[in-house]
Structure 1
Amino acid sequence: MRNLMLSWQFWAILSATFAALTAIFAKIGVADIGSDFATFIRTIVILIALAVSLTIIGGWESPFSLSAKSILFLVLSGLATGASWICYFRALKIGQASQVAPIDKLSVVLVALFGALFLGEQLSLGGWLGVGFIATGATLIALF
């Protein structure tokens, strides 16, 4: 079990499971309130949960030990996350979760493209075929 918990696959599957629950819970949660306020509430919960988690595992680090590059890209990542959440909750407010979530998962396709363009990552032919299937599948689910 310990080896399983050290694998990226284990954590990726948990991430996908929690992302699916996020869509369902958020769709119900935004029914009677504004999507931006719902995103704010969600963010507070995440901050508290992370603070508790860091405290329990002893994961707090000095922010002064970070490089300027790390700080810059973590800030940019935070801004992108915030923008993503705001857009996601607005889409859930007006659309069906079963349509919004697959389109949101087109981020997988964009990560593959951006990873290749900006990080020099390489996918095999099978990998690119999989990316194409994800794009096609997400589009089909959202449209039909």
Structure 2
Amino acid sequence: MWKWYALLSAVFAALTAIFSKLGVRNVHPDLATALRVSVILVMTWGIALCGNGMRHIKEIDGRSLLFLFLSALATGASWLFYFRALQCGDASKVAPIDKLSVAITIFLSIVLLGEPAELKTILGGLLITCGSLVLLL
């Protein structure tokens, strides 16, 4: 099932790039990011409140909360830079370079999380890196 979720994530990430490029044309990128985050905030809290997510809130420990907070900071920084890149660059070039995050995640998950370094995973990360480098150069 996780593969379907990942594929849907990719589809919505692609739509995000297109919609963001169209939306950020005449809007300061920081303001555009703030508007985007506000909509996401309302949507995700609505899902958590309407679903069963809130009944687990007391189970969150300090370590998990710390890493969720750090994740939020990293996400915010990523979005701010992404919108700035979209405002002055082509979505067809910005989005693939942004996806270097996949290769970086592969590397960090092996080094920091101790995940297995399978040949196909490493090869996929290298191919993503090569594609991004082609766009950068």
- TM-score category (smaller protein): over 0.9
User: In structure 2, what is the equivalent of residue 4 of structure 1?
Assistant: none
Unaligned runs of 5+ in 1: 1-6
- Identical positions, percent: 46
User: What is the distance in 2 between the residues matched to 1:42 and 1:70?
Assistant: 25
In the alignment, which residue of structure 1 is the partner of 2:9?
A: 15
Letter in 2 for 1:135: T
CA distance in 2, matches of 1:63, 1:34: 35
TM-score (structure 1 length as normaliser): 0.89
Distance in 1, Cα, partners of 2:45 & 2:121 = 37
* Selected match of 1:38 from 28, 32, 43: 32
Q: Which amino acid is 1:25 matched to?
A: F
Unaligned runs of 5+ in 2: none
Q: For 2:71 and 2:55, locate their aligned partners in 1 and report how far apart those are by CA, in whole Å.
A: 18
Tell me how far 1:64 sits from its aligned partner.
4.3
Q: Hey, what does 1:70 align to over in structure 2?
A: 64
Question: Number of aligned pairs?
Answer: 137
Q: CA RMSD in A?
A: 1.4
User: Could you tell me which residue of structure 2 aligns to residue 105 of structure 1?
Assistant: 99
CA distance in 2, matches of 1:17, 1:36: 24
Which residue of 1 is the match for residue 126 of structure 2? 132
Q: Which runs of 4+ in 1 moved over 2 A?
A: 61-65
